[in-house]
Amino acid sequence: MSGAEEHWDVLIVGGGPVGACAAALLQRAAGSGRRALRIAVAEPARPARAAEGEPLDARVSAFSRAGERILASAGAWERIDAQRVQPYERMCVWPAHLPARSPDALLFDAAAVGEADLGAIAENRLVQCATLDAFEAAGGTILTAGFTGLSIRDEAVEVQLGERSLRCRLLVGADGARSRVRESIGIAVQAADYGQTAIVANVRTERPHERTAWQRFLGAGTLAFLPLADGTSSIVWSIEEAVARERLAMSQTQFEAALQEASGGVLGTLELCTERAGLALRRLRAERFAAARCALIGDAAHVVHPLAGQGVNLGLLDAAALVQCVLQALRAGEDPGALAPLRRYERWRKSELAPMALAIDGFNRFLAHGQGPLARAAQHGLLWVNRSEALKRLFIAQALGLSGELPAAARPGAPPLS
């Protein structure tokens, strides 16, 4: 590969919520003025905006307070149609051996820590559109093309987007779990299939969702109901692959009956209002998040089980941390692709991720899927958490994404990055 004519300071491959957010944060902080950076995002599949009155999509995520603040710093949160976003005030978690709405169920209430809510549920597509729009509005460029290869030189990275060749000083891989950027740099991963599939769909429920996220640990999986803005709920039902295949092949009526049984009737009778989709679940962690002139963020760097609703939020924290490290380097007169700030980013995010990934795996192993004595002990341990206000506060801080070393963009009243 040689002779690229097109030059960028920073190229972000992947305009998913995480890549687009990193791009918008950087563009707003360093994309104008005398020494403005030239920043581009390569995204082959930009999603269409939701049409007026279009029903809610079944692919939604719970955004933590930290995630919301970072998206606000990127200029994206206010672009999301508030009518389609549902803040949630409570989270109720209960193991299979208890009835639904048992007084022993673990209830996290935002009001108990003086917060209005614990976060908000929004459609992935809507957040992605808003974030790409915020990047463009700040003067960024979106290249409708997919990454196909690279070659790293001392002074730049030469990148191939199909037929198109270009050079950049910093390349950010935000191209998701199957990252080609990660593969091309030669970064190894530790990965394993959970042997589970998450069935996602939206359901109409007999009882109101009460702005509450409900999650039942089933012993053979988890079933979550996330409250949606139109009164329906989004289900994420993570179960063994073979069982999921059976459930996906069932008729609508049979599926609704099986779902109702798994829910313990917490929201009354249930009726599907979208198609069902099955998503295979795996965990993944890249051995390095940074290399010469390259960094990985979001699912390209790490994938966690969806049961804690943290994947995209961890990715947004990566985006904000990376941008902060790059801006520090620029202030010190360094090149945006200098290795030292990228290593700083890597150390920071790896140390934050390790305990979170361990906790999520523990929840999956002992609370969601465990059947043995350890699992029973863990399920009973949940009840202790319920009796300790201090422990509950700790869990709420985790759910809000406000524990650990936060990037400036995730702190309260964060000023625009500069």
Ligand X SMILES: Cc1cc2nc3c(=O)[nH]c(=O)nc-3n(C[C@H](O)[C@H](O)[C@H](O)COP(=O)(O)OP(=O)(O)OC[C@H]3O[C@@H](n4cnc5c(N)ncnc54)[C@H](O)[C@@H]3O)c2cc1C
Helix (H, G, I), strand (E, B) or coil at 111: helix
Closer by beta carbon to ligand X, 315 or else 336: 315
Closer residue to ligand X (CB): 62 or 93: 62
Residue 98 or 319 with smaller CB distance to ligand X:
319
Provide the total of helices (H) and of strands (E) in the chain, helices listed first: 10, 20
Matching residue, tokens 């939701």: 50
**C-alpha radius of gyration, the chain, whole number:** 22
Which residue's CB is nearer to ligand X, number 27 or number 313? 313
The pair of three-digit structure tokens given for residue 267, joined into one six-digit string: 């929201």
Residue 36 or 354 having the CB closest to ligand X: 354
* Residue 231: other Cβ atoms inside 10 A: 11
Token duo for residue 384: 């202790």
Least distance (Å) from ligand X to the CB of residue 45? 4
Query: What residue ranges bind ligand X (CB under 6 A)?
Result: 13-19, 42-45, 61-62, 146-147, 174-176, 180, 198, 200, 236, 279, 298-299, 306, 309-313, 315
Of the candidates 7, 41, 47, the residue with the CA atom closest to the CA atom of residue 24: 41
* Rounded CA separation 155/4 (Å): 13
Minimum distance of ligand X from residue 49's CB (angstroms): 15
Judged by beta carbon, residue 350 or residue 376, the one nearer ligand X is 350
Cα–Cα distance list, 274 to 50, 104, 228 (Å): 15, 33, 13
292 vs 139, 155, 240, 342, CA distance in Å?
Answer: 27, 10, 40, 8
Closer to ligand X at the Cβ: 200 or 326? 200
Q: Which residues contact 229 (CB under 8 A, 6 or more apart)?
A: 56, 83, 84, 85, 86, 121
CB of 239 to ligand X, least distance (A): 12
Helix (H, G, I), strand (E, B) or coil at 319: helix
Q: How far is the CB of 200 from ligand X (least distance, A)?
A: 5
CB of 305 to ligand X, least distance (A): 9
Give the nearer residue to ligand X in terms of CB position, either 90 or 330. Answer: 90
- Distance between CA atoms of residues 42 and 141, nearest Å: 9
Q: Cβ closer to ligand X: 9 or 123? A: 123
As measured in angstroms, the least distance from the Cβ of 307 to ligand X is: 9
Q: How far is the CB of 380 from ligand X (least distance, A)?
A: 27
At residue 275, what are phi and psi to the nearest 5 degrees? -65, 160
Token pair for 25: 């944060």
Q: How far is the CB of 12 from ligand X (least distance, A)?
A: 9
CA–CA gap between residue 252 and residue 226 (Å, rounded)? 20
In the complex, the smallest distance separating the C-beta of residue 268 from ligand X, rounded to whole angstroms, is: 23
Helix ranges restricted to H, 105-149:
124-137
